[in-house]
Structure formats: structure tokens, C-alpha cells
Structure 1
Amino acid sequence: MTNICVAALQLPLGGDEQSNIYAVSGLVAEAAEQGAQIILPPELFAGPYFCKIEDEALFALAQPVGESAPVLAMQKLAKQYGVAIPASFFERDGPHHYNSIAMIDPDGEIMGVYRKSHIPDGPGYEEKFYFRPGNTGFKTWDVCGTRIGVGICWDQWYPETARAMALMGAEILFYPTAIGSEPYDADLDTSRMWRRAMQGHAVSNCMPVVASNRIGIETEGNGDQAFYGHSFITNEWGDLVAAYGSDETGVLVETFDLEEARKHRAGMGFFRDRRPELYGRLAEDK
């Protein structure tokens, strides 16, 4: 039996960088003390979600991976507790800027960087102003005796992302997120759709999914934006085995038997019965 213990963090992140990193660090420690081996903080956890507005002064928040304060802090914690952490950060690479993940192993070393592939652009989520589309392709990582795939927020709406990582050998999918209210429609609550989309990835790929989101009302920029939380962990059937609502702060921890999930994945036949020769239309931009 091959067990893996994973954790999702949920918390408000409207403070300054030092306060946010301190708060995330406390939850990482709490998750590690509960036995978590892979711990997922939310997207861009070092500060308020700055993409609500277009302001060129905010490019100063970006740092190279080796100089990023949130990455350096998570490296220290990963080594201290012997855990793996996909750490989200605003990356500067020469003249280019990305919404990125530094995959940190249990020795505190950076295994590599994944850059967000799908970049949203709309009221309250004007990410195309700040981020280039990622040039790394989808990535998977061998950590803690398994292989994981990590997408970033808007990536989670695309079944192609999940399936590509599954075909690359991922056995668990992780999605750090910053999502909440839609400024153009105060009555639109996407939290149910958000969860269902990723539960669908769990079902279609027969593997657990872990999603971390922020909570709270952030007032910076052009008006308030409420982040709705609802962080969760599903099993390979897409069932919610651990979940928060819209206002809890804390850690969700769950242990999976990967051998059991592999057995179910083989038995369902989703990968056996694929017909790649019929899927060419998916790669056509028209």
C-alpha cells in the first residue's frame, strides 16, 4: 500500500508581504505537523491579488525565482519539515513576467518552475497586462514517492491541462487559485462551477485533486473584491473528502492510497480507450 498525505491551505491574504508569508508559513507548519507531505498554498499568496487593476508600478513586485521572498520562505519551511511545496509567485525573467510555480522538494531545493499557461483577462482579473502566457509547457514532478501535476488557477478550467498532466504520469493534480467575485455581475457566484470543473478532472482522470483558494474582501485598487474560498480535496472518484466554505482559515489534510487509485484508474479504462487519432480538432485554433 502506497500512501500519500496532502494538504490545501485557505486563508485571507490582504496584508503586506511579510504578514502574508508569516500567515502561510504558520499553516504550512500546521499541515506538516498533521502529517502532510505535499502542501499547497493559494495562488500569489505573498500579497493581495493585484491583477484587479492595470498599474505598471506593480511590476516591481516581480522577482527572479532565486530572489523571490515567498519562494525563499517556502524553501526554508520545506527543508525544515521535509515536505514538498508548490510555491506560487510573480516571476521576472529578464524583461518577461510570468505567473509561476516554483516546485520545492522536501530538501528545500527548487526542482523547476511551471509558468501559468492560460492567462485570463476580464474585469477584476486583468492578468494579461502582467503575465506572458507560460512557455514551459505543462509539467509533472516526482516527489514523495509519487508524480504530481500542478496547474495555476485559470488552467483549472481546461480539461486539456488535467489530461496532459495525467498523460505525463501525474497521480495527483494540484491547483493554487485566487478567485472570487465577478465585478461585472454581483449576482454571479462561480464557486459551484469552479469546484465541479475540477471534480470532473478527478473523475475523468481517476485521480485526486487538491485546490487552494484565498478568502476575504480585498479593498486595494478599484473597489472591493471578495474571494470565496471553498478550497477542497477530492478522491479519485471526484468525491469531496475535505472541504472548506467561504470563510474558514486553516488546513485541509487527506491521505490517499495511490495503489488503490491506480487500480481504479486502470479498471475504468479511460486511458485504455482513448482515441488520439480523432482528437486533432483540439489542436486547431479555428
Structure 2
Amino acid sequence: METRSIDDILQEFLPKNELKEVNRILYGDQTNLSYLGSEEQFSYDIEKYRFTAITKNEQVPRITKIAAIQHSVVLPTDRPIQDQKLQIFKKIEHMIEKSSELGANIVCLPECWNMPFGFVTREKMPWCEYAEDCNNGPSTMFIKRLAQKHAIVIISPIIERDNADLLWNTSVVVSECGTVLGTQRKNHIPTNNGESDYYTHGMSGQRVFDTKFGKIGVTICFDRHQPQNWLMYALNGAEIVFNPAATSATDSWWPIEARSAAFDHSYYVVAVNRVGIEKFHLESGAEKIFKPFGSTYISGPNGSRTKSLSTVRDGILYAELDLDLCKQMRETLGLNQSRRLLYYKNKWTEASSNKFLPQIIQKLQ
């Protein structure tokens, strides 16, 4: 049974005026956000938006156009690795080309876009065999070619195998020239779903890539649950933070976290999820089903956000982002001026100590 989106349900049952008010609460003030329409390809949806800032005098807006791609795997999960990658490559090439046609400068793919998300099985084979070199592996070479062809930046989350044969959950950032700008490893690994059996916590910090189209960061899936992680991207100067994910069990949290982070830190957040149904046949003979719920969306620094893509279909979420809105929200709210970093530095140092005593006030006897 296909899960209907909350937008479809609300539109069917709420009167127009009440729907408008509910949308204002769910999606924020729409003064700076315009819906540009939709397209439906034979196999995926396209939704288009525009975020604007207040234009001062004759200031030229700093517009960056982004595309977030959510997609499903193509073949049954037990098909050979090369066949899997080939078919996913074909799908992604078409969707990246369409993103370029729409005008995108930056394209982000979901977590582990080039493979089934086999880590939910807790079995090593064949999922470890999908890992590859982040600079010259087949997926990176494929993305390099498309980035150079279309003169766009592409964020490519893969499983990296390093020179020591260790695995990492890594996003490769490829420039519009087709070169690797750098990588961002997943900083926080969940311990309750099998991922920690494959790779460990990254130590690459919260890198911000100063691209031709703006300063971007990449925080991978589970990292979004850590407030200090979001904060560091703001301190490092990010204007857009992408959150490629493969999530299936947190659909009540998903609409909140990226929006909250965007508002708290005065930058854009692009939450990009996988979609579809992935069935795995385990060595025990049992079947494991992984069903990421899509729902990719974008939130602006003023707390407004787009509606989500489908919970069941592939899609491209395209948006034109005025980066000046980041600065305007910092000036309006002044949250960066009231952070009190030195105060919390001392508190965090204390909390990191084994001798830390929680600051709890008890009733006097």
C-alpha cells in the first residue's frame, strides 16, 4: 500500500482558508518562498521552488540553483554488483542531466546512492564489495564526467575504502571542473541498525567547501541528530548544508530537524533521502525489507520550507536560493551574537570530564 503524503491528505479534507493557515504553521512564512510548478516525467516527479531575500538598493542577488535527487534502486538486491551499479548509473545520469536542464548549479544525491542499502542486513557480503576509492573509483569517475560535462558541483555519497582497507561512509564533493574538491566522512554512526559493523565515526570535522556557487557543507544522515554538528557548519561559514540520508524509521522527526537547524544557524538545509522498497534475502533464509520514505525537502534560514517530495516515487527537488537571505536572517535575529561560545566552551570541557557533576538543584531538607 502506498503511503499518501500529508499534503495530499490535508488538501483533500481541509477547506481552502484553513489549509492556508495550516500550511503557514507547517511550512513557515511563505513571503520569501515561491512555488514554481511541477513536472512529471515517465518515472519521476519534479518540484520547483524559489527562495528570495530582500533586495537592497541595486544589489545583485546571489542566486544558487540546486537540485536534490531522491531515487530507488533499479534491480533486485541479489543481482551482481556490476549490474546494480550499471543500472543505477543509467538512472542517475538521466536525472542529473535533467537537473542541469532545469538550471541547477549544485546537485546532491542521497546516502550510498550507488548501491542497495545492504547494511541493514548486518551481513558483510556482498555489501563491503561496493566500497571504492573516493578519488578514482568507478562511481567517482562517473560523477566527475557528469560534473565536467554540465559544469555543476555534485555531492556523491558513497562507501569509501581507504589505503588501509578501512571503510568509511563518505560524501565526495566534485567541482564543476570535474575534480574532487574534497570529502566529508559521516561523523556519527548509529549503533542500533548494523552500520557500526561496517564503518566507524569520521574525524574530518565539519568541512565547508568554498565552491563557485556558494559555501556548502555535507552532513550525512545520522549526523543530523547532533546539534553540535549543525553548529560547527555555521561557525565554519556554511551557506547551504546538504543532508544526504537513507532513513526509514524517523518520518516524524524528519520534517523537523533540517528546518530547525536552518533557522537556528541562518543557512539553507537540503534534506535528501532515498526512496523505494529494498528486499534482502538473508543467509538465514529470512527476508529483510528496507523502505526509505523519500520526502526530500529544503528549508530556508528564515524557517520556511518547501513541501516534501513523494514518499514512494523518485524525484528531483529544484530550488533557486538567494544566499543573501542567510546574512539577512543573521542580522535580523542576531542568534550568532548571542551564542556565548566561550561560556559553553567551558561547560563542554567540564561535561567531557569523567569527574563531571550535573548541575542539578535539589530541594533543601
Does the alignment reach a TM-score above 0.5? yes
- Contiguous gaps of at least 5 residues in structure 1: 182-189
Q: Hey, what does 2:24 align to over in structure 1?
A: none
The TM-score with structure 1 as length reference comes to 0.92
- Which secondary structure does the structure 1 equivalent of 2:337 belong to? coil
Deviations 1:24-57 (A, max 9, x none): 2211111111011111110001111011122233
Q: Work out which of the two has the higher radius of gyration on C-alpha atoms and give 1 or 2.
A: 2
* Kept after mapping to 1: 8 A contact 2:301/2:325: no
Q: Hey, what does 2:31 align to over in structure 1?
A: none
Question: What amino acid is the match of 1:251?
Answer: I
Stretch moving more, 239-248 or 222-231: 239-248
- Which secondary structure does the structure 1 equivalent of 2:252 belong to? helix
- Which secondary structure does the structure 1 equivalent of 2:71 belong to? strand
Residue 220 of structure 2, aligned match among 131, 148, 152 = 152
Q: Hey, what does 1:241 align to over in structure 2?
A: 306
Residue 5 of structure 1, aligned match among 53, 61, 65 = 65
Residue 155 of structure 2, aligned match among 86, 91, 95 = 86
Q: Give % identity.
A: 25
1:195 shift after superposition: 2.0
The TM-score with structure 2 as length reference comes to 0.72
Q: Hey, what does 1:206 align to over in structure 2?
A: 266
Q: Hey, what does 2:47 align to over in structure 1?
A: none
Deviations 1:153-205 (A, max 9, x none): 00111121111011101011101110114xxxxxxxx2131220111001101
* Kept after mapping to 2: 8 A contact 1:173/1:210: yes
Q: Distance in 1 between matches of 2:190 and 2:155?
A: 21
The 5-angstrom pairing of residues 29-40 of structure 1 reads 29-40=97-108
- Which secondary structure does the structure 1 equivalent of 2:258 belong to? helix
Residue 28 of structure 1, aligned match among 96, 102, 107 = 96
Q: Distance in 2 between matches of 1:137 and 1:31?
A: 29
Question: What amino acid is the match of 1:205?
Answer: H
The root-mean-square deviation of aligned C-alpha atoms, in Å, is 1.5
Q: Does 1:67 align with 2:136?
A: yes
Q: Hey, what does 2:328 align to over in structure 1?
A: 263
1:69 shift after superposition: 2.1
* Kept after mapping to 2: 8 A contact 1:68/1:89: no
- Contiguous gaps of at least 5 residues in structure 2: 1-60, 76-83, 355-365
Stretch moving more, 240-249 or 40-49: 240-249
Question: What amino acid is the match of 1:211?
Answer: A
1:224 shift after superposition: 1.1
- Which secondary structure does the structure 1 equivalent of 2:301 belong to? coil
- Which secondary structure does the structure 2 equivalent of 1:223 belong to? strand
- Which secondary structure does the structure 1 equivalent of 2:205 belong to? coil
The 5-angstrom pairing of residues 224-235 of structure 1 reads 224-235=289-300
Question: What amino acid is the match of 2:144?
Answer: Q
Stretch moving more, 49-58 or 162-171: 49-58
Q: Distance in 1 between matches of 2:161 and 2:115?
A: 16
- 1:180 and 1:265, CA in 2 relative to 1: closer, same or farther beyond 3 A? same
* Kept after mapping to 1: 8 A contact 2:169/2:199: yes
Q: Does 1:135 align with 2:200?
A: no
1:137 shift after superposition: 1.4
- Which secondary structure does the structure 2 equivalent of 1:85 belong to? strand
1:21 shift after superposition: 2.0
1:134 shift after superposition: 0.6
